Amino acid sequence: MNGSLELEVADLDSKREIREVTEFLNSFGLEYEGDLDYTVILRNGPAMVATGSFKGEVLKNFAVNESFQGQGLMASLVTALTREQTRRGIVHFFVFTDPRKAFMFSELGFSEIARIEPYVALLETGLGSIDSWILEAAKELAHLPPNRAALVMNCNPLTKGHEALIRRAASENKAVIVFLVSEDLSFFSFKDRFFLVKESLGHLKNVSILPSGKYMISAATFPTYFLKKDQGLLAQTKLDLAIFAKKIAPALNIVCRYVGQEPSCEITRAYNQAMLDILPSQGIEVKVMPRLAINHQPVSASLVREAWKSADWETVSAMVPPATMAYLQGKTP
């Protein structure tokens, strides 16, 4: 790195510094993604010439002034960020970048997982990889016959709609894998959501319930930080599904994916449509189940949460299985 450059840690509580980083990123056509854990800045005197950030395992918000490219600044940013992540106990790292810039991170030891042209490439390095995750999942699923069906669900919390979808998959297939979204970004914790699915459906002999890990519907497969708003959702859905179709499904003998019809949420509806557009071309059948309705009211986890918060136990009871009902009755909103 150029010896005249100074590395500093940004004050993420400073509106002035946030504005400076935002304007720098905007000058490259990039958007600032907030809710960050750590941001570093390289300066040439008072002028910002490069920046990078991380949130959890995910490195993001990279930009380097064109006049300083080729001087090892990207390596300096990555080193500073991963050193701080390691200090915090993080030993596995993801990075999202423009596919045209992916080679820069490959040269720094990152391995590419997937890319969606012209939007995004996802790479990783550190302890653990998608290959090691798949190997562990395959061991967990070794007892199941091949030609498996899969569901990727949040169950926030588990409703009768989720239960009906899993039961249908179990009745139509010899083997079913339920991947429960692992990210603790939902209203209910992963631990509690996993418990409820196991409690209600763990008795189904041809169904295995596994954490979705870092490679399905996670902070690591839904990048938005460097994309224009009208591109973000398209890239996110395609990236997540490309990883599933090209990496996960073939290795775990998945030939079919079940999904519930989505009448209201734009993001889920777009994701479902992307499944229909992408997965069949990769040899994975998509089966869409109509949304379960009770008393002409579509069952939804969001409606359950609203009813629970207002102590509308009649609505909650109608929409959730006994295990969820008992859980909600013992938990304060």
Report the CATH number that the domain containing residue 76 is assigned in CATH: 3.40.630.30
Span 225-278, pLDDT tens digits: 334 455 577 888 899 999 999 999 999 999 999 999 987 778 888 889 999 999
Interval 90-98 mean pLDDT: 93
Q: Which amino acid is at 310?
A: S
- Domain stop point among 128, 144, 167: 128
CB neighbour list of residue 313: distance below 8 Å, 6 or more residues apart: 307, 329
User: 140-179 burial, b if ≥16 CB within 10 A, otherwise e?
Assistant: ebeebeeebbbbbbbbbbbbbbbbbbbbbbbeebebbbbb
- Domain stop point among 85, 100, 128: 128
pLDDT at 223: 53
Q: Report percent pLDDT > 90 for the chain.
A: 82
- Domain stop point among 128, 147, 178: 128
Check whether 107 has a pLDDT greater than 60: yes
Q: How many CB atoms lie within 10 A of CB 112?
A: 16
**Domain membership of residue 240 as a residue range:** 131-329
How many angstroms separate the CA atoms of 63 and 82, rounded? 16
Q: What is the pTM of this model?
A: 0.92
Span 211-229, pLDDT tens digits: 999 999 888 886 543 344 5
Across-strand partners of 58? 55, 94
Dihedral of the alpha carbons of 311, 315, 318, 320, in degrees to the nearest 10: -60
Same domain, 322 and 197: yes
> Does the residue 157 lie in any domain?
yes
* Cα–Cα nearest to 244, from 213, 207, 290, 223: 213
> Does the residue 185 lie in any domain?
yes
